[in-house]
């Protein structure tokens, strides 16, 4: 009797906690605080911008030269690099070219948390595939050169759109201003990243060379021999200020911050907007102050609209709107009760906040950087990508206006960072954005997660106690107590170690999870394999390995069936505790993954119960539970969850089986811990829950 | 009487000057002397180097007691007290650009200093007194120059170079403060050491705003004393004060972009760069002159008329040949012209124009200007190898320092001169001090040279003194012998980033910690006639160390207090409670009325105590009814309150 009471209390507790957890998650947009600039030294916008029309016309000149058709005559696009380098040299900056070979992202088992390595020395570099980054450095006239600010403009010389040229123009106008100013305390590095092999690859290659160069005792004959490159270096040599140019790699000090500047080509909006991308690998975010400064300067100084990523499909969902209205009306009532309770936000704002929060969670959970700024975060440099999307028109006034405003924004941000005496440390590193000027800090969003996973240890403990005591009772009922008193102690001892059996099962399944997450490494070695077939191979191998493991390691399921009736409860208890540990660990590494994983896994784990029992019981409650179990059992399967999410976002029409393989491939290529989480926590958990569902007891 | 006083005041200044002048002259050999010079040198990147050098010397202190006419008393007292044999103190702001401003000539080699404060001193005291003397010296200098030199007092900040530091001697102490901010408050005491401060002579030019507008600013104080009692011959103390500034003449010129004038060197004059002119010489100075130095590379570019005539003409040169040149124009006629031939580059020579300030007066102030007519581009003589230093690695745990040496084209001349025996070698001394919190692993020192040669051949000597925590910094002195054909060489050494105790962090811990510049010297090359080797300093590095959250102690205090409160609270509770009575009371209460929740709780507590619960025989329906009644009442009252509030607001 007590047990069932305890169990019911347990059920109440878990239901309340889970509901509260989900509710708290939906309340986050309401609880979001307004951002503020935490570091006083930044002083954004306190100085009036110095960027004048003179600099803008300089930038315009560069844009014209770059978009000039005869500059694109060369096939390798070296001409435009030369133009950029010449412009930098004319400003008196130090210029160097950085030649790199694009490194293909590969699956490195166990490389997930290691620091970026200094690239392998590959033997067979071909002359045809290399990229050239143009780097210009302004040394601060009175600075001590200990720190530097990096400005990155991705540029593809081969097929550059007008947007890329414009971004170079903006950067150049800022750069030309910065060569003249006296307030500079940190060096400025302008990196024109050759994006023909991807923006990220170029920036990452430059950073690798900057931070972890490879020294070799003998000069290895590599692409230095390529005629094109030599040509490039020679032509620069006879410039007037030749000493400023060198083909060796140039450095400045420790990087304080980095800005990636992009201009989008097409835009259908009616307003000049700026998109901020901040998510780096494994959900790391730059310091909130950096976003604050950009947001403050863009909105209050340059009159640009600032956007952060949103899940657009959520904007039109009616249920979210009605939820927002409920919150709004609740807030109204609360405010009328006590005027100081002002926590409500309008419903439309709530919907937007939720969409932003969802995308913030999604991109952090994915663990894949949303732009070239991600490369900086690997070296503990705060970086964001600014994408300016201007309202498009072709007249000169508009172009000048964009150059001026964009340039002034960049100048303001650089000036703020330049004011910094210390590195970014004042503001938050762990946050979720609900709008460019609103954030949820770690202290608030942890509550939702903590509420979600709070029932897990409780339920695990109660299940364990339950399984032990119930078998105790049943044993007491069935056997004659007086007959085997001396073996009773022995059986008690055995019983208290019975959980080891289920722990073994859980361990085996987790081991299988590890094997499954290593399999893609071997599958990717197979040449000429379409994603679909790879995925199929993966699934087959996984099933095969599960069966093998199961048969080799004493088939615990069958064993359990034979011996124990309440075995499933013990298995569930151990599963739940392992899930709890996994989620707890993941929340430290990447909170967003853990949150989304908890949303999927916690209900499934808590509800899992053999279907047979439910069928046997035949009540409404057990029927509901059965339905829930079946639905959750489908949803929580990682590929199913992926396809469902993809279908919800993009429509179910173009869902392809190979997509999941591609997605997984991108995850491991970016060394995302989410991949490990899916392979080693979620998938085993799902398998265990399914095994519980189909347990024959 | 007032009349006489006035007269006295009027003549006072003149008399004093006259007397001082006389006293200087009458002593002949053992007089105190003061001389001042200003050297101007156009730099390739449109800038101008101004280097003022003033030297005062005092005869041995025994000759005229503790009285001085010209020599600063503070310095002589300092020398006597701490028995300083040689000392150099420099305050620097900005970086010397070795690539475009050169590093080989004596001016750049001895005046290019690392940012911040650098101090080294040689003492003439027994070994065990040196540290005490050094400490006192740092405090004295700190007071004298309004700088935080006293931070060099602690043993963790200064080091004892063994042999790589130029004044090779065991009595050297060397310390740097890379993050010291240098400003006018340091310049004023420096100027005070001059006999006339900045009121007369060339020092008049040292106008603060224009000095600090420059790109590089380094004030240096070098003193040598041979006034030791042990040696027989004394020559007293020689105090050299130099101020090196790199300025941008005509900054408004730079704004004109992309015109053809952009490549013309900006024209300048003394009045345009300093905003002042020299009005005659300082009467007490032995000599006072202004020099204009044209670099070797520049002279080679300029193509003086005599060069075309051949070498014979160079010998019999007339002054007109040199200062009337089609490419530039001097606004004043030089008094003398010196030609300097160098040993390595015998073909090119540098030209030094000398202007004597004596000729000029208040009414006709001295002003020299240089007008460029055609664009010229040249290179300054660089150090044999260009040294740069940087940090490698990422993360908060491990990193590495790398010093990379890149050949400048300069070594070719040296190589041709030395390659008779076939094995030409270039000696490079590296001196590196690392603070103790940067825990260097000396075994991880790696040398990379792009020539096939064994590492054991490259490293000739190495001296390492590992750091002791909070006690002494790590010092590494390496002598490398590189082949002359070397293009790039690199030294890397790994280190762990240490953890500091919370009170050891400076107030701005999040800024990062500085690793002072390494000194790279080339003993094969001598910058000037006095055999001092060519030296260059590398960049200062900024190491971001892990910093604790400084609000952590308060969090810890709060949490600890909470834990203590909970612990003691529960302990007291347990101690004063009588369990049996409690249970009886509970049972009695339960017999009366048992709610759902108390029942559950009592069960839970019983469970936790490990006992089986006796079944309770009570009608739960009635109790829950009562309970729900209570709840209903509460809800009713709350609803009334809400309605009330809602209705009346």
Residue B524 sits in a domain whose CATH number is 2.60.40.740
Q: Please check the confidence at residue A221 and state whether its pLDDT lies above 70.
A: no
Q: Could you tell me if residue B140 is inside a domain?
A: yes
C-alpha R_g of chain A: 30
Looking at the structure, tell me whether residues B354 and B477 fall in a common domain: no
Confidence of residue B28 (pLDDT cuts 50, 70, 90): very low
Secondary structure letter of residue A212 according to DSSP: S
Chain B residues with CB under 8 Å of A217 CB are 448-450
Both B354 and B436 in a single domain? Answer: no
Residue of B252, B271, B254, B272 lying closest to B263 (CA atoms): B254
Given B532, B550, B568, the domain boundary residue is: B550
Q: What is the pTM of this model?
A: 0.85
Of B288 and A241, more confident: B288
Å between A216 CA and nearest CA of chain B: 6
Q: What is the dihedral of CA A529, A532, A536, A537, to 10 degrees?
A: 10
Same domain, B125 and B273: yes
Give the closest-approach CA distance of B397 to chain A in angstroms: 11
What residues of chain A lie within 8 A of the CB of B509, using their CB? 422
Write the secondary structure of A592-619 as one string of H (helix), E (strand) and C (coil). HHHHHHHHHHHHHHHHCCCHHHHHHHCC
Cβ of residue A237 closer than 8 Å to a chain B Cβ: no
CB contact under 8 A, B452 and A218: yes
Tokens linked to A395: 């007249």
Test B215 with A141 for CB contact under 8 angstroms.
yes
Region for B201 from its dihedrals, namely left if φ exceeds 0, alpha if ψ lies in -120 to 50, beta otherwise:
left
| Burial of B629 per CB tally in 10 Å (0-12, 13-18, 19+) | exposed
- CA of A237 to nearest chain B CA: how many angstroms apart? 13
Q: In whole angstroms, how large is the CA radius of gyration of chain B?
A: 38
Number of domains in chain B: 2
Whether B131 and B278 map to the same domain: the answer is: yes
- Output the 3-class SS for B48-81: EEEEEEEEEEECCCCCCCCCCCCCCHHHHHHHHH
Mutate one of A143, A144, A182 to test the B interface: name it (highest B CB count within 10 A): A144
Distance linking the first and last C-alpha atoms of chain A: 22
Residues 6+ apart with CB under 8 A from A95: A85, A88, A89, A134, A135, A136, A137, A236, A244, A245
How far apart CA B159 and CA B341 sit, in angstroms, is: 39
Tell if the CB–CB gap between A139 and B95 is shorter than 8 Å: yes
Task: Using CB atoms, pick whichever of A54, A212, A253 lies closest to residue B393.
Answer: A212
Q: Confidence class of residue A549 from pLDDT cuts 50, 70 and 90?
A: confident
Instruction: List, as ranges, residues 522-561 from A with C-beta within 8 Å of B.
Output: none
To the nearest whole angstrom, how far is the Cα of A624 from the nearest Cα of chain B?
A: 27
Q: What domains are defined for chain A? A: 1-24+456-470+490-694 (no CATH), 47-105+130-212+228-309+370-420 (3.40.630.10)
Asked if the Cβ–Cβ distance from B539 to A116 is below 8 Å, we say no
Are B542 and A147 in contact (CB < 8 Å)?
Answer: yes
Please judge whether B512 and A254 are an interchain contact, meaning their C-beta atoms are less than 8 angstroms apart. yes
Q: What is the DSSP string of B450-464?
A: SSS--HHHHEEEEEE
Provide DSSP, B301-334: HH--HHHHH-HHHHHT--HHHHHEETTEEESS--
Distance of alpha carbon B576 from alpha carbon B438, whole angstroms? 55
Alpha-carbon distance A327 to A335, whole Å?
Answer: 12
SS3 label, residue B199: coil
Q: Which member of A115, A144, A253 has the closest CB to residue B394? A: A115
Which secondary-structure segment (H or E) carries B405? strand B398-407
pLDDT at residue B439 above 70? yes
The alpha-carbon gap from A11 to the nearest alpha carbon of chain B, in Å, equals 14
| Chain A positions in Cβ-Cβ contact with residue B217 (cut-off 8 Å) | 142
Assess whether B437 and B482 both reside in one domain. yes
B511/A422 Cβ within 8 A: yes
- Which SS3 state, helix, strand or coil, does residue A542 take? helix
Same domain, residue pair B343 and B457:
no
The candidate with the shortest Cα–Cα distance to A165, out of A276, A75, A83, A246, is: A83
Query: What is the pLDDT confidence band of residue A142, given thresholds at 50, 70 and 90?
Result: confident
- Asked whether the beta carbons of A147 and A256 are under 8 A apart, the reply is yes
- One domain for residues B281 and B337: yes
Please judge whether A211 and B392 are an interchain contact, meaning their C-beta atoms are less than 8 angstroms apart: yes
pLDDT score at B24: 39
On whether both B353 and B496 belong to a single domain, the answer is: no
Which residue in A215, A244, A257 has the most chain B C-beta atoms within 10 A of its own C-beta, making it the best mutation to test that interface?
A: A215
Chain B touched by A119 (CB under 8 Å)? no
Tell whether B632 is covered by a domain.
Answer: no
Of the residues A121, A146, A241, A425, the best mutation for testing chain B's interface (the one with the most B CB atoms within 10 Å of its CB) is A146
Helix/strand/coil for A303: coil
Q: Taking CB atoms and an 8 Å limit, are B97 and A139 in contact across chains?
A: yes
Within a domain: B176: yes
Candidates A180, A243, A423; nearest CB to B512: A423
Nearest CB to A380 within list B394, B452, B510: B394
Place B422 in a pLDDT band, splitting at 50, 70 and 90: low
pLDDT at B507 over 70: yes
pLDDT band at A479 (very low <50, low <70, confident <90, very high): very low
**B564, part of any domain:** no
List pLDDT tens digits, range B94-146: 899 888 888 888 888 888 899 999 999 988 888 888 899 999 999 999 999 99
Q: What is the pLDDT of residues B147-202, one digit of tens each?
A: 999 999 998 889 888 776 655 566 889 999 988 888 889 999 999 998 888 888 88
Query: Do A243 and B99 make contact, defined as CB atoms within 8 angstroms?
Result: yes
Two structure tokens written together for A320: 């979210």
Which chain A residues contact residue B486 at CB under 8 A?
A: none
A146 and B541 within 8 Å at the Cβ level: the answer is yes
Give the model's pLDDT for residue B608. 66
Residues of B in contact with A380 (CB under 8 A): 394-396, 544
Phi-psi region of B434 (alpha: psi -120 to 50; beta: other; left: phi over 0): beta
Mean pLDDT, chain A, as a whole number? 82
CA distance between the termini of chain B:
93
- Put simply, the answer to whether A146 touches B646 (Cβ < 8 Å) is no
Please answer yes or no on whether A90 and B257 come within 8 Å at the CB atom.
Answer: yes
Which is more confidently placed, A550 or A654?
A550
Does the residue B25 lie in any domain? no
Q: CA-to-CA distance for A358 and A323, rounded, in angstroms?
A: 15
Range B96-129 burial, b when 16+ CB lie within 10 A, else e? bbbbbbbbbbebbbbbbbbbbbbbbbbbbbeeee
Could you report the per-residue pLDDT of B212-221, keeping only the tens digit for each? Answer: 888 899 999 9
Size of interface A-B (CB pairs under 8 A): 134
pLDDT at B535: 86
Please indicate, yes or no, if residue B48 is contained in any of the structural domains.
yes
Query: With an 8 Å Cβ cutoff, is A658 touching chain B?
Result: no
**pLDDT, position A414:** 94
- Residue B581 host element (H or E): helix B579-592
Q: Which among A145, A211, A421 has CB closest to B539?
A: A145
Residue B337 confidence class, pLDDT cut points 50, 70, 90: confident
Identify the domain boundary among B512, B529, B550.
B550
A chain contacts of residue B613, beta-carbon cutoff 8 Å: 2
> At A658, is the pLDDT very low, low, confident or very high (cuts 50, 70, 90)?
confident
The parent domain of residue B430 ranges over: 385-410+423-550
Chain B contact for A335, CB < 8 A? no
Statement: residue B562 has pLDDT above 60 = yes
**Among B507, B532, B550, which residue terminates a domain?**
B550
Question: Same domain for B332 and B434?
Answer: no
From B305's Cα to the closest Cα of chain A, the distance in A is 24
Same-domain check for residues B124 and B146: yes
Question: What pLDDT, on a 0 to 100 scale, did the predictor assign at position A562?
Answer: 45
Same domain flag for B462 and B502: yes
The pLDDT tens digits of the residues spanning A312-352 come to: 888 888 888 888 888 888 888 888 877 777 777 888 889 99
Cα–Cα distance for residue pair B552/B550, rounded to 1 Å: 5
Instruction: Determine the average pLDDT of the residues in A152-167.
Output: 86
Q: Which of A5, A58, A333 sits opposite B257 (nearest CB)?
A: A58
Nearest CB partner across the interface for A337, out of B217, B377, B642: B642
Residue A219: closest CA among chain B residues belongs to which residue?
Answer: B450
Q: Could you tell me if residue B600 is inside a domain?
A: no
Nearest CA in chain B to A186: B94
Are B347 and B461 found together in one domain? no
Contact in structure between B484 and B524 (CB atoms under 8 Å): no
In a domain, residue B560? The reply is no
Closest CA to A570 of A465, A427, A426: A465
């Amino acid at each position: 009797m007590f047990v069932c009471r305890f169990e019911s209390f347990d059920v109440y507790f878990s239901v309340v906690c889970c509901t509260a957890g989900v509710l708290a998650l939906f309340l986050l947009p309401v609880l979001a605080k307004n951002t503020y600039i935490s570091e006083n030294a930044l002083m954004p916008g306190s100085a009036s911008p110095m960027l004048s029309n003179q600099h803008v016309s300089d930038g315009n000149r560069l844009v014209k030269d770059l978009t000039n058709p005869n500059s694109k005559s060369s096939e390798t696009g070296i001409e435009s690099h030369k133009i950029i380098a010449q412009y930098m040299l004319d400003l008196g900056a130090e210029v160097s070219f950085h030649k790199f070979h694009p490194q293909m992202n590969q699956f490195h088992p166990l490389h997930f948390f290691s620091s970026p390595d200094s690239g392998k020395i590959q033997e067979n570099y071909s002359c045809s595939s290399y990229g050239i980054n143009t780097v210009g450095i302004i040394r601060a006239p009175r600075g001590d050169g200990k720190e530097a600010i990096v400005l990155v403009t991705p540029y593809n010389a081969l097929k550059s759109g007008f947007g890329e040229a414009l971004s170079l123009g903006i950067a150049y106008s800022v750069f030309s201003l910065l060569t003249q100013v006296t307030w500079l305390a940190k060096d400025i590095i302008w990196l024109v990243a050759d994006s023909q092999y991807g923006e990220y690859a170029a920036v990452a290659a430059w950073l690798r060379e900057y931070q972890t160069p490879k020294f070799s005792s003998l000069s290895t004959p590599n692409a230095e021999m390529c005629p094109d490159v030599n040509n490039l270096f020679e032509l620069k040599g006879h410039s007037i200020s030749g000493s400023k140019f060198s083909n060796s790699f140039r450095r400045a000090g420790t990087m304080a911050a980095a800005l990636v500047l992009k201009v989008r080509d097409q835009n259908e909006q009616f307003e000049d907007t700026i998109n901020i991308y901040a998510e780096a690998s494994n959900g790391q975010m730059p310091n909130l102050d950096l976003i604050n400064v950009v947001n403050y300067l863009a909105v209050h100084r340059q009159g640009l609209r600032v956007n952060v990523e949103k899940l657009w499909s959520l904007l039109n969902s009616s249920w979210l709107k009605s939820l927002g209205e409920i919150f709004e009306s609740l807030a109204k009532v609360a405010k009328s009760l006590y005027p100081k309770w002002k926590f409500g936000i309008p419903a439309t704002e709530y919907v937007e906040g939720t969409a932003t929060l969802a995308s913030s969670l999604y991109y952090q959970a994915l663990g894949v950087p949303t732009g070239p700024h991600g490369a900086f975060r690997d070296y503990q440099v705060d970086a964001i990508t600014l994408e300016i999307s201007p309202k498009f028109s072709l007249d000169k006034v508009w172009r000048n206006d964009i150059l001026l405003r964009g340039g002034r924004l960049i100048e303001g941000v650089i000036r703020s960072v330049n004011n910094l005496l210390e590195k970014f440390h004042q503001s938050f590193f762990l946050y979720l954005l609900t709008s460019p000027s609103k954030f949820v800090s770690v202290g608030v969003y942890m509550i939702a997660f903590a509420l979600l996973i709070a029932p897990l240890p409780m339920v695990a403990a109660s299940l364990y106690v339950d399984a032990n005591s119930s078998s105790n009772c049943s044993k007491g009922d069935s056997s004659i107590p007086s007959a085997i008193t001396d073996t009773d102690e022995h059986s008690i001892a055995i019983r208290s170690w019975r959980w080891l059996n289920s722990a073994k099962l859980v361990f085996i399944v987790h081991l299988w999870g590890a094997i499954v997450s290593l399999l893609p490494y071997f599958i990717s070695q197979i040449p000429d394999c379409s994603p679909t077939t790879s995925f199929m191979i993966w699934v087959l191998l996984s099933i095969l390995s599960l069966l093998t493991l199961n048969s080799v390691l004493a088939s615990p399921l069958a064993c359990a069936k034979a011996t124990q009736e309440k075995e499933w409860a013990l298995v569930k208890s151990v599963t739940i505790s392992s899930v709890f540990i996994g989620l707890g660990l993941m929340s430290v590494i990447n909170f967003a993954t853990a949150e989304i994983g908890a949303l999927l896994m916690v209900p499934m784990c808590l509800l899992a119960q053999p279907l047979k029992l439910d069928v046997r019981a035949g009540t409404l409650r057990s029927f509901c539970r059965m339905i829930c179990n079946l639905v959750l059992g489908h949803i929580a399967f990682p590929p199913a969850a992926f396809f469902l999410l993809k279908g919800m976002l993009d429509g179910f029409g173009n869902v392809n089986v190979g997509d999941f393989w591609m997605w997984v491939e991108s995850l491991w290529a970016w060394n995302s811990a989410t991949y490990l989480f899916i392979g080693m926590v979620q998938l085993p958990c799902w398998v265990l829950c399914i095994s519980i569902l189909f347990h024959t007891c | 009487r007032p009349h006489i006083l006035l007269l006295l005041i009027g003549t006072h200044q003149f008399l004093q000057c006259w007397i001082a002048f006389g006293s200087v002259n009458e002593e002949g050999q053992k007089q105190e002397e003061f001389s001042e010079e200003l050297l101007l040198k156009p730099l390739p990147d449109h800038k101008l180097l101004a280097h003022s050098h003033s030297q005062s010397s005092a005869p041995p202190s025994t000759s005229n007691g503790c009285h001085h006419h010209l020599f600063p008393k503070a310095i002589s007292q300092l020398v006597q007290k701490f028995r300083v044999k040689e000392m150099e103190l420099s305050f620097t702001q900005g970086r010397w650009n070795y690539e475009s401003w050169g590093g080989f000539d004596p001016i750049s080699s001895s005046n290019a200093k690392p940012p911040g404060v650098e101090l080294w001193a040689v003492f003439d005291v027994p070994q065990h007194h040196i540290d005490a003397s050094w400490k006192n010296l740092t405090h004295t200098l700190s007071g004298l120059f309004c700088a935080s030199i006293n931070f060099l007092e602690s043993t963790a900040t200064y080091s004892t170079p063994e042999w790589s530091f130029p004044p090779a001697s065991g009595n050297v102490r060397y310390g740097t403060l890379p993050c010291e901010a240098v400003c006018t408050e340091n310049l004023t005491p420096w100027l005070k050491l001059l006999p006339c401060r900045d009121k007369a002579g060339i020092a008049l030019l040292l106008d603060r705003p224009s000095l600090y507008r420059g790109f590089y600013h380094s004030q240096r104080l070098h003193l040598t004393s041979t006034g030791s009692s042990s040696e027989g011959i004394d020559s007293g103390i020689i105090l050299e004060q130099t101020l090196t500034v790199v300025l941008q003449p005509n900054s408004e010129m730079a704004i004109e972009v992309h015109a053809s004038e952009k490549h013309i060197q900006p024209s300048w004059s003394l009045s345009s760069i300093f905003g002042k002119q020299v009005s005659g010489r300082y009467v007490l100075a032995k000599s006072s002159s202004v020099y204009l130095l044209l670099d070797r590379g520049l002279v080679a570019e300029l193509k003086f008329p005599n060069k075309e005539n051949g070498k014979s003409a160079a010998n019999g040169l007339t002054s007109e040949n040199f200062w009337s040149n089609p490419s530039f124009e001097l606004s004043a006629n030089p008094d003398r012209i010196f030609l300097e031939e160098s040993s390595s580059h015998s073909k090119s020579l540098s030209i030094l124009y000398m202007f004597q300030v004596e000729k000029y007066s208040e009414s006709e102030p001295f002003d020299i200007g240089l007008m460029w007519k055609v664009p010229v581009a040249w290179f300054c003589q660089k150090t044999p190898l260009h040294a740069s230093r940087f940090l490698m690695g990422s993360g908060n745990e491990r990193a590495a320092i790398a010093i990379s040496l890149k050949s400048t084209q300069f070594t070719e001349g040296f190589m041709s001169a030395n390659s008779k025996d076939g094995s030409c070698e270039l000696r490079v001394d590296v001196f590196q001090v690392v603070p103790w919190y940067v825990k260097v692993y000396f075994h991880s020192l790696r040398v990379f040279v792009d020539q096939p040669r064994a590492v054991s051949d490259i490293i000739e000597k190495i001296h390492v003194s590992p750091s002791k925590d909070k006690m002494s910094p790590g010092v590494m002195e390496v002598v490398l012998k590189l082949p002359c054909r070397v293009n790039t060489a690199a030294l890397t050494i790994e280190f762990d980033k240490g953890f500091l105790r919370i009170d050891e962090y400076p107030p701005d811990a999040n800024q990062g910690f500085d690793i002072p510049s390494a000194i790279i010297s080339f003993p094969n090359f001598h910058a000037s006639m006095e055999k001092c080797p060519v030296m260059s300093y590398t960049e200062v590095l900024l190491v971001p160390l892990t910093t604790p959250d400084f609000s952590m102690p308060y969090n810890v205090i709060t949490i600890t207090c909470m834990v203590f409160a909970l612990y003691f609270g529960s302990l007291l509770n347990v101690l004063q409670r009588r369990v049996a009575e409690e249970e009886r009371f509970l049972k009695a209460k339960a017999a009366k009325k048992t709610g759902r929740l108390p029942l559950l709780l009592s069960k839970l507590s019983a469970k936790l105590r490990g006992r089986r619960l006796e079944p309770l025989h009570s009608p739960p329906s009635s109790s829950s009814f009562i309970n729900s009644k209570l709840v209903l009442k509460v809800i009713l009252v709350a609803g009334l309150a809400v309605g009330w509030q809602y209705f009346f607001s």
